């Protein structure tokens, strides 16, 4: 059986890499199949409001940041080719026994991307056996879909999908409003998938790990609280994978080393979906910063896995949140149940 996986495997992002890796492995573990990644066919590109932050340092000090980004792209291109199996040329084929779309924010067209609004991501594919797994609208809302006159187009594309799965309640509600059908909800592949055996050793120890997109964790009060907590605990502050201008050190690991950095961290501060997942998978003491642009997916995630109390918003104490011990036993019990449910769903998707 030949399976096509339409995902975000070429995005230079740790979460995107690991969701592609884990979902590929989950599908291939079903047995008797080969899998190829399908690339996204670009659609309409609209003008969007994009998060930007002015550099707070001189042109000379920008050089390390640009070197950081160039090195990061090379690391990901190598891993996408050698680990995920991405080909040098884009693959737009549709002649597969089954095609699965997902996971990650494949339905999120209001966020800036190289492909814009691509109907292919909603099921507009010349294939009779198309399904989704843990697909997500991100911060795309039903109102945004109506405002941009996309509902009819999305509805038409979704009609071609045999089995619908999303990863959060916002996405489920949008699908239900458009199709009048309730999709299944499954956990992100990074939560229910398997990582490779034997993570690499790293030299860093005694640190607070910061995991947030470049320069985004810039709130003065958060920075002040994290620095104070680090001094009290005699820990350094390390930003991993992304560049922050207020930490003690910026490091750029490969995707495998990233997992080791999470595993060895004393504490984690993050404001990302997969940063939260990496923290839980490694059973770390963590805080997730909630804001308007991430509350749909992150609020849902933390509630779903029973860790809603790890949310940070204005007025809370980062120190109190980090020092409150997490009992991961209930989380692991829930995760084990969801692993079995996800495997059963994927088996249904690839059967003809």
DSSP-derived secondary structure for 299-340: HHHHHHTT-GGGEE-TT--HHHHHHS----HHHHHHHHHHHH
Residue in this structure with the two tokens 């795309």, named with its chain if needed? 140
Domain ranges within the chain, ordered by starting residue: 2-193+337-350, 207-333
Alpha carbon 290 to chain centroid distance? 15
d(CA 304, CA 316): 21
* Helix/strand/coil for 73: helix
48-89 pLDDT tens trace: 434 444 455 555 567 788 888 899 999 999 999 999 999 999
Tokens representing 106 are 């494949």
**What is d(CA 106, CA 11) in angstroms, rounded to the nearest whole number?**
12
Q: What's the CA gap between 319 and 232, in Å, rounded?
A: 10
pLDDT at 59: 59
Which DSSP category does 196 fall into?
A: P
**Phi, psi of 274, deg, nearest 5:** -75, -25
At residue 63, the pLDDT reads 75
203: number of Cβ within 10 Å: 5
H or E segment at 210? strand 207-211
Q: Cβ distance 239 to 208 under 8 Å?
A: no
Strand 130-135 to strand 161-163: parallel, antiparallel, or no bridges (unpaired)?
A: parallel
* Alpha-carbon distance values, 50 to 13, 110, 112, 116, 218 (Å): 17, 10, 7, 13, 16
Q: What is the pLDDT of residues 109-127, one digit of tens each?
A: 988 888 989 999 999 999 9
User: Which of 113, 105, 138, 84 shows the shortest CA–CA distance to 255?
Assistant: 84
3-state secondary structure string, 32-72? CCEEEEECCCCCECCCCCCCCCCCCCCHHHHHHHHHHHHHH
Tokens 């829930």 sit on residue: 334
- pLDDT tens digits in sequence order for the chain, 352 residues long: 899 999 999 999 999 999 999 999 999 998 888 999 999 999 987 644 344 444 555 555 677 888 888 999 999 999 999 999 999 999 999 999 999 999 999 999 988 888 989 999 999 999 999 999 999 998 899 999 999 999 999 999 999 999 999 999 999 999 999 999 999 999 999 999 999 988 999 999 999 999 999 989 999 999 999 999 999 999 999 999 999 999 999 999 999 999 999 999 999 999 999 999 999 999 999 999 998 777 878 999 999 999 999 999 877 899 999 999 999 999 999 999 999 999 999 999 998 6
Is residue 110 a contact partner of residue 139, using CB atoms and an 8 Å limit?
yes
Reply yes or no on domain 207-333 having CATH 3.40.50.2000: yes
Token couple for 77: 């291109």
Residue 257 CA to residue 23 CA, distance in Å, equals 20
Question: Which residues, 6+ apart, have CB-to-CB distance to 340 below 8 Å?
Answer: none
Show Cβ contacts of residue 338 under 8 Å, excluding neighbours closer than 6 positions. Answer: 186, 187, 191, 192
- For residue 2, give the 3-state DSSP assignment: strand
Distance of alpha carbon 320 from alpha carbon 312, whole angstroms? 10
Residues in a beta bridge with 44: 117
pTM of the predicted structure, to 2 decimals? 0.92
User: How high is the pLDDT of residue 134?
Assistant: 97
Contact 266, 248 (CB under 8 A): no
């Amino acid at each position: 059986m030949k399976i096509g996986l339409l995902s975000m495997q070429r995005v230079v992002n740790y979460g995107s890499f690991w969701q592609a890796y884990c979902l590929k492995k989950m599908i291939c573990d079903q047995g008797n199949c080969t899998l190829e990644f399908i690339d996204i066919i670009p659609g309409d590109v609209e003008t969007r409001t994009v998060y930007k932050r002015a550099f707070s340092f001189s042109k000379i000090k920008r050089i390390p940041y640009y070197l950081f980004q160039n090195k990061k792209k090379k690391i990901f291109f190598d891993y996408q080719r050698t680990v995920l199996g991405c080909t040098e040329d884009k693959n737009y084929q549709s002649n597969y026994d089954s095609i699965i779309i997902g996971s990650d924010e494949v339905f999120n067209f209001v966020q800036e991307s190289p492909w814009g609004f691509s109907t292919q991501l909603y099921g507009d594919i010349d294939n009779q056996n198309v399904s989704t797994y843990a697909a997500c609208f991100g911060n795309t809302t039903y109102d945004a879909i109506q405002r941009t006159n996309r509902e009819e187009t999305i509805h038409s594309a979704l009609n071609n999908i045999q089995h619908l799965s999303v990863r959060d309640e916002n996405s489920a509600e949008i699908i239900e409003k458009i199709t009048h059908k309730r999709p299944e909800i499954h956990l992100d592949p990074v939560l229910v998938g398997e990582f490779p055996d034997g993570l690499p050793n790293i030299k860093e120890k005694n640190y607070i790990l910061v995991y947030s997109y470049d320069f985004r964790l810039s709130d003065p009060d958060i920075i002040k609280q994290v620095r104070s907590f680090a001094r009290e605990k005699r820990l350094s502050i390390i930003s991993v994978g992304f560049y922050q201008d207020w930490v003690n050190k910026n490091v750029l690991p490969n995707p495998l080393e990233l997992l080791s950095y999470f595993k060895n961290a004393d504490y984690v501060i993050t404001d990302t979906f997969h940063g939260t997942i990496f923290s839980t998978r490694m059973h770390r003491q963590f805080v997730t910063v909630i804001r308007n642009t991430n509350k749909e997916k992150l609020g849902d995630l933390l509630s779903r896995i029973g860790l809603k109390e790890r949310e940070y918003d204005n007025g809370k104490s980062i120190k109190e949140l980090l020092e409150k011990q997490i009992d991961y036993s209930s989380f692991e019990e829930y995760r084990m149940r969801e692993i079995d449910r996800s495997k059963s769903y994927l088996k249904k998707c690839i059967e003809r």
